[in-house]
Structure 1
């Protein structure tokens, strides 16, 4: 009898494990598994499979195994891949309003940022992306940007005058640098280290994770903790795939994403803190890097200098006055 029972249990296990999932969700991203985005993608995979009772099989493909961020938006539209988390800049042509996140000193801190992302403004931006045929699910953090320079420590806005700053392709970032007398230079990320090392550019703006992993702190003399801008990712899904899911599974996706987003923010902050500790240790050991943190008064001086560019983006085809004003109001 015992053998029969054991045999029945074994058969049930085999039957359950061999039951094919009803849906396969391929999640493509460009970073490694041990990054905040990579860890959050794995968290999402486990959680959605649990919530859906195995009906959705999530397959995560890290490190550009399937697509680069430049190619993934097209792949999502074709449903060749079901999910991705590209940086905001990859949506610049279809939803220019996402450049809101490029505006300098518009967010007081992480709480203000997340309040905006989780509120009316964040939803409005997601709706704009969804209207373009890709379902926008949520925002994931990379982190706030800091200034580095080889020429002069960036403490006051006037310190930027004449410095050649590497920037990403962005009209907002170009205007930001012009507002402080800097000389913006668009340059691919892969060329920044050698550009700084050889003096082709003097300065840059990056989150701590970029500074640390690409060793920019080793080819710059000054680092200013300014938290002046933000870099993040938008997690998106193929509309065709989303529409194929019944309401209960769509609810499972939303719940798993909500939990994964909360985790991703924790991972991002933890990594930022630990990597900044490493940079401080390097500065202490070598004496080759000076680190400054802007005081609230100094930040206010920067905000005054750069916020004059905001009206340049009031046009609805740029960012829009309403979105900018609501973002500022959320921090008051």
Structure 2
């Protein structure tokens, strides 16, 4: 009797998050279909084992994990084209962003990742729209960010965005960011509300501005040699399970954002909802970056972001 195929899935959040629950959904589908032919194991949060969040990349690339996910920004140093989805105010509505990532834009970016990294990319989880939180003051205009030390993802595009907004961007891994936020050695951060709550940032930041400045996805990637070596029926089943899990996770994300807002308010924090004019002021401040992006990425790739925008 052949040994079962080992599938080790990992992430960097508690088992209660939508991402972890989506991994469990993938595993449950495979277990139901293949039974003793597969051995499914989970590492919900690699940070609990002393790893940094970004270590999920090499853990999968070298086959220590079979499947993982990570915000696309963490790969921009190796796959510069991913910087296009770090552009600020790129998508005006969630449905436009989802259509782009499930369509030609997501396909192109997945192939770019596979050209440079030992992955198979099979889908995109939704990290979603990101918002600014800080410990100092209410933020309703770029001027209110002046001089604030803000943690950003390791992306040149994101760092440039906050330079244009007057802040002092500090690209760093999540693990380091949590420690510095807790110690008060950085002033601000940006994340979906659900991440802000998951990592306890709302306990240290009083002010939360619903800025919707970035929409970030998390590619779902597998160790290429492992996936390519599986029987065809298992490969097809994994592809289907990931498609189902993406839809499941995105639905959960909407619920998690609503629940996180209630938690932040219950903590006594202030939530700032920008007026249309205030939002436009942020978008205007970063317009030079959009001009730069046309030269960097070209009109063809930029055009793929406009799905449904017309």
| TM-score over 0.5 for the pair | yes
* 1:113 alignment partner, SS class: helix
* 2:214 alignment partner, SS class: strand
Where do residues 246-325 of structure 1 align in structure 2 (5 Å cutoff)?
246-283=231-268, 289-315=269-295, 319-325=297-303
Cross-structure match for 1:59: 41
Cross-structure match for 1:225: 210
Take 1:141 and 1:228, find their aligned partners in 2: how far apart are those partners? 15
Cross-structure match for 1:95: 79
Alignment gaps of 5+ in structure 2: none
1:123 to 107, 132, 140: 107
* 2:29 alignment partner, SS class: helix
Q: Which structure has the greater CA radius of gyration?
A: 1
Where do residues 1-332 of structure 1 align in structure 2 (5 Å cutoff)?
22-52=4-34, 55-64=37-46, 69-132=53-116, 133-192=118-177, 195-196=180-181, 200-283=185-268, 289-315=269-295, 319-332=297-310
Take 1:51 and 1:315, find their aligned partners in 2: how far apart are those partners? 48
Take 1:152 and 1:266, find their aligned partners in 2: how far apart are those partners? 32
Take 2:199 and 2:231, find their aligned partners in 1: how far apart are those partners? 44
How much does 1:136 deviate? 0.5
Once superposed, what is the RMSD of the aligned Cα atoms? 2.6
Take 2:242 and 2:174, find their aligned partners in 1: how far apart are those partners? 29
Q: TM-score, normalised by structure 1?
A: 0.82
Alignment gaps of 5+ in structure 1: 1-18, 284-288
**Could you tell me whether the CA contact under 8 Å between 2:126 and 2:218 is conserved in 1?**
yes
Q: How many residues align?
A: 307
* 1:30 alignment partner, SS class: coil
**Could you tell me whether the CA contact under 8 Å between 2:74 and 2:155 is conserved in 1?**
no
Alpha-carbon displacement from aligned partner over 1:284-303 (angstroms, at most 9, x marks no partner): xxxxx322112333323322
* 2:7 alignment partner, SS class: strand
* 1:43 alignment partner, SS class: helix
